[in-house]
Amino acid sequence: MEFMSFKMIFIIALSLMGSVVNSKETSDYKLPTNFKPVSYELYVVTHLEDKFMFEGVVSICMTCVEATDTIVLHSNILNIDTKSVVVANCGENVVPVSSVSFDPEKEFMLVKSTVNFKPGDEYVLTIPFTGNLTEGLTGYYRSSYVEKENNQTKWLAVTQFEPAYARGAFPCFDEPAYKAKFKIRLGHKKELNSISNMKLMKQINCPSIPDYVVDEFEESVPMSTYLVAYMVSDFVYTEANCGNDQVKFRIISRKESANQTELAISLGPKVLKYYEDYFDEKFPLHKQDMAAIPDFSFGAMENWGLVTYREIYLLIDLNVANMYNKHQVAVVITHELAHQWFGNLVTMKWWTDLWLNEGFATYVGARGVDFLFPEWNSFRVVTVDDFISIMDLDSLESSHPVSVAVGNPDEIAQIFDTISYTKGSFLLHMMNTFLGEDTFKQGIRNYIHKHKFSNAEQDDLWSSLTEEAHCQGTLDKNLTVKKIMDTWTLQTGYPVLKVVRDYSVGTVTLSQERYLTIKSNGTDNKTCWWIPITMITSGNFNQTNAKSWLNCENNNLTTPLAKDTEWVIYNLNMTDLYRVLYDTQNMKAIICTLNDPTKYETIPLLNRVQLIYDSLSFSKVGDMDYEITFQLLKYLKHETEFTPWFAAFEGLSAINDLMKKTPKYAVFQNYMRRMLSCVYSKFRNMNDKVNGYENIKFQTYVISNACNNQIKDCIQQALDLFRKWMKINDPDNNNILPIELRRIIYCKATKYGGEDEWNFLLERYQYSILPDDKDDMLYALGCSSNKLLLQRSLNWSLDNSIIRKQDAFKIFYSVAMNDAGYSIAKEFLYCRIADIYEFYQPEGNRLGDYVKVIGSQMNTKEELEEIQSFINKYSSYLKEADMVINQTIETIESNIEWMSTFYDKIVNCMEQS
């Protein structure tokens, strides 16, 4: 499943975080192991437009593993006639059922017999059921769109079963370890069509309902219930013309969007072949469908053979799409198709190892984009973005390990977050580096070959990688991947490597401790990591592999270093997940080199990135003087690469958020205008076309920051261009704004323009059928300075007849981050929390996002008391998001500490810089 975050320009945030529970709680909510399903026969009839419900029957063939008189499986919010539940043995003799009962809290269905079931015997459990097609975006739900041609509402039904929603569509063993084969039949009206995981075998007239047909699909490969998928709609198919005769590849969309499938239909077959080669394992199905869904909670879902996407992440008009949109679609497609091996073919045993699915799909997906578009050099940008994303969140005490225990079904969905996806991905990048590409790739292949069509856990991965590393000689025989990597996946947080040189005797001493945003009372001696040590010096620019380790057994390492070495830099090319804190003299030598326009490039690009971001972070917690950090930032005036600027923008944005409600905010903006003056001159003209992925990102970041810091030329250009567009005939089909800068221009026009600009953009939003353009426009509607318009936008966010439920938080985020909208958004949350909670059911954890965006901008004791009072008052609504709530409180405490300690100091530094 694709989790999307707020990094880069802006992409929908679904920060689903929740409780970390202990193993006892986990076992309490897991099914007993008495039965193992072998196969399902599932028949579902879908009624759209009139009833919005479904009816069906499931027959589950299962093996008894342990003697018992009760079958326990999952069922939730289904209507089941308990008298019609039947159990038969393989000889078709009916086994008497004494009772059928339900445990709503655990979502269990219990079928009790008058006799014991025998170990080794097979039984068939048959259950008829009915359910409602809700608009909740989980289980088997309904979605709709308005056909432009005749202004008619069209309905469809589609599944979203990950992580634990299959039980709301049919009774089943709804845990990833219970893999089984599925034979699916779907009944629906004749004028509609249906798709599922496997190929359609035949269609017959429905014997019991006139004007209905039944589609029968071939039996699936063994798979977990969360990967089962089916859909009923009037959508059309666009088929790829590719050389792989064994796999039919189709894009499925509403008819009016079929012309937006060109990129997806081109990329899909190529990346599928790339993964077949990379994993050395053929794709095991005969077809691969990818469907664009109008209402979809996540970014996408990797159902085997039928990947479902939010429209914006699959459909794109290449004539008007910007580079960001193209990259976004490529990233999501490669992520989901990587899941066909990591997640689908080999599945984690339990959600504790979700990162094996999501971390791998994220990492290999980024490599897939690099394969498809090597000219973009996107892997480097993604690496920097990932590093920064992890460092901020994982520096909180309230973060969680990569491998995290979960129990209650509500909690499973809440760990689909930056830690599982991004940190998991970066750790794989780190392993690839210290093991080497050949060892890493072959170890992954061995893991897949060994566990395909089955389940695994992280120790199985460690075992395969260790065996291959020892075979190839890339890891010492006395060392295992488990010993190294357990320190990274089973512990919360990451280390800071402290570098202290003794210049008199020519040595350097390395030590480590956990990096925390808020310092603990004493040094945390309980956590330590196996850190691969790589370095360069001012006299040696050659790359070095990890020849030594700093670890728990040797956590204070002193080695020789030539006295005449000007500086030393660790974590070469930022391949490992730790910060580096240097002694002052070494840092000043680095800064001296950086500020020399003829020498700064002798420090590798990604190390320049880390030096910038680490310095800003260390200064924020008092480990480095801000004077040193601002001396380092001066070198940017001759930096020509995007990624160091990106690190600076990201680090300085945290200061922006802290200062923007203070009397000295103008000092910060003046500093930013001075810092931007040179680089802004390079990108000043918004009509100039910039080529290349990184240069385009460079342009958008510079112009966005220039406008945000009120460089008048920037704001005036945005207004002039937008108003010129307003005067164009047929503006919907003749958008004259520069493609790469439209999001920025939309936002600044509504902010610094008036109601006319806002209404004009609203009309364009309502007319457009381009998902990416609608996304940009919706965000911009929250940029207005008109409080009545902002209030109207927030009210609309809870009316999915105007704004789709999937986009509701997007408008709230935009308003909340707007200087004019913050207090309005906060009041909206405080007053309408019950409505927001109800709106998102059954995904109550989404409320955490609302609290987070409001709390992240608080920096006084009074505000902390205010939000704590709010949280206490409405704790019943927020219990499903307690982790993100805890992280928000910790962030506010950190903000308060910073304001007390560094506010005056940074004002002085900025005034003097």
Instruction: Tell how many helices (H) and how many strands (E) occur in the chain.
Output: 28, 30
Which amino acid is it at 241? N
SS3 42: strand
Please tell me whether 911 is known to bind a ligand: no
SS3 904: helix
Identify whether the C-beta of residue 808 lies closer than 8 Å to the C-beta of residue 800. Answer: yes
- Among residues 185, 184, 166, the alpha carbon closest in space to that of 176 is found at 166
Please tell me whether 339 is known to bind a ligand: yes
Which two structure tokens, joined as six digits, stand for 893? 């405490």
In whole angstroms, give the CA distance from residue 344 to residue 326. Answer: 26
SS3 138: coil
Which two structure tokens, joined as six digits, stand for 244? 């792989």
Count the helix, strand and coil residues of the chain and give each as a percent rounded to the nearest 5: 45, 20, 35
| DSSP notation for 48-108 | -SSS-EEEEEEEEEEEE-S-EEEEEEE--S-B--GGG-EEEETT-PEEPEEEEEEETTTTE
In whole angstroms, give the CA distance from residue 326 to residue 317. Answer: 9
In whole angstroms, give the CA distance from residue 171 to residue 169. Answer: 7
- Among residues 417, 423, 421, the alpha carbon closest in space to that of 494 is found at 423
- Strand pairing category for 548-550 and 495-502: unpaired
Q: Which residues contact 319 (CB under 8 A, 6 or more apart)?
A: none
In whole angstroms, give the CA distance from residue 233 to residue 229. Answer: 13
The residue ranges of DSSP E strands in 271-382, in sequence order, are: 287-293, 300-301, 306-310, 346-348
Burial class (CB in 10 A: 0-12, 13-18, 19+), 461: buried
H-run or E-run covering 513: strand 507-514
336 is catalytic: yes
Catalytic pick among 336, 411, 843, 890: 336
| DSSP notation for 393-452 | HTTSTT---SS----SHHHHGGG-SHIIIIIHHHHHHHHHHHH-HHHHHHHHHHHHHHHT
In whole angstroms, give the CA distance from residue 734 to residue 712. Answer: 27
What is the number of other CB atoms lying within 10 angstroms of the CB of residue 590?
Answer: 25
Beta bridge partners of 288: 249
Please measure the distance between the N-terminal and C-terminal CA atoms of the chain and give it in whole angstroms: 45
SS3 22: coil
Beta bridge partners of 223: 180
HEC secondary structure over 267-290: HHHHHHHHHHHHHCCCCCCCEEEE
Which amino acid is it at 91? G
In whole angstroms, give the CA distance from residue 744 to residue 725. Answer: 15
Strand order in the sheet with 556-560: 556-560, 507-514, 495-502, 579-582
Which amino acid is it at 201? M
What is the number of other CB atoms lying within 10 angstroms of the CB of residue 435?
Answer: 24
- Among residues 449, 458, 398, 397, the alpha carbon closest in space to that of 424 is found at 458
Burial class (CB in 10 A: 0-12, 13-18, 19+), 692: middle
In whole angstroms, give the CA distance from residue 47 to residue 55. Answer: 8
H-run or E-run covering 521: none
| Size of the chain in residues | 913
Catalytic residue annotation: 336
Output the known binding site for Zn(2+).
335, 339, 358
Output the known binding site.
335, 339, 358
